[in-house]
Amino acid sequence: MLMKLNHPALVELLQRAYSAEKAAAFAYIGHAASLKKPADKAAVKQIEDDEWGHRMNVLVIMKQYEIPVSRWYEFKFHVIGRVISASCYVIGWFMPYFFAGKLESGNVCEYFVMMKYFHALGIREHDEILYEMGIKEKEHEVYFLEQIKDSKWLPYFEKVFSWGKEAKANDVDLADKLPVETSSEYCKTYKAHEVEAANQKLK
């Protein structure tokens, strides 16, 4: 049964995530093509495939609540993805890995924030798929960091861009994962004021 979501922030986040996953997938097409080792190409290609899968998962949720695809986000992220894809051929090997890892670090919490928004509406049926996507984004982050952990450039980029060995945009630990049932405990400080304000408007 179709229903409308009375939660503007959740609607906007779903629309943005749907289109942003396309940008990420496009970026990984260029990233994979710019790499030389077959194993590296295959690993990034798998991450690209994961992003297309996430995009479809988000679309299923959007359709359930009659949320339209944002034409603006589709155009914006299409262009961003294509530009990043092309840039991978000219910016060297380090930066594509670094900025992909930083992006994935933030994407982790976006799916757990969606879960919090749904919970504010009393909806828990999407917990498992949101959890799976959030954890998969964490796996991507860990993979990208692993590729550059010994680079001499990492300490400088981490200081400037607040992501690396110590700085993260999420608190997920793959070695000690929370179960789905309590995973909304993740990302309590991620845009906390924004999340709280959005949920308070429902009361």
Question: What integer is the mean pLDDT of 20-46?
Answer: 96
Rounded (10°) angle between helices 8-34 and 192-200: 140
Question: What integer is the mean pLDDT of 108-130?
Answer: 96
In angstroms, the CA 122 to CA 31 distance is 40
The three-point CA angle 30-174-178 to 5° equals 130
In angstroms, the CA 45 to CA 22 distance is 14
Task: Indicate if the pLDDT at residue 1 is higher than 70.
Answer: no
pLDDT-derived band at 60, boundaries 50, 70, 90: very high
The pLDDT mean for the chain works out to 94
8-200 CATH: 1.20.1260
Task: Indicate if the pLDDT at residue 203 is higher than 70.
Answer: no
Percent of the chain residues topping a pLDDT of 90: 89
- Predicted TM-score of the model (pTM): 0.93
Question: What integer is the mean pLDDT of 131-155?
Answer: 97
- Per residue in 67-112, pLDDT (tens digit) is 999 999 999 999 999 999 999 999 999 999 999 999 999 999 999 9
Task: Indicate if the pLDDT at residue 14 is higher than 80.
Answer: yes
Q: Which of 152, 56, 170 is nearest to 102 (CA)?
A: 170
Task: Indicate if the pLDDT at residue 124 is higher than 60.
Answer: yes
Instruction: Give the model's pLDDT for residue 118.
Output: 96
- Per residue in 160-197, pLDDT (tens digit) is 999 999 999 999 999 999 999 999 999 988 876 778 77
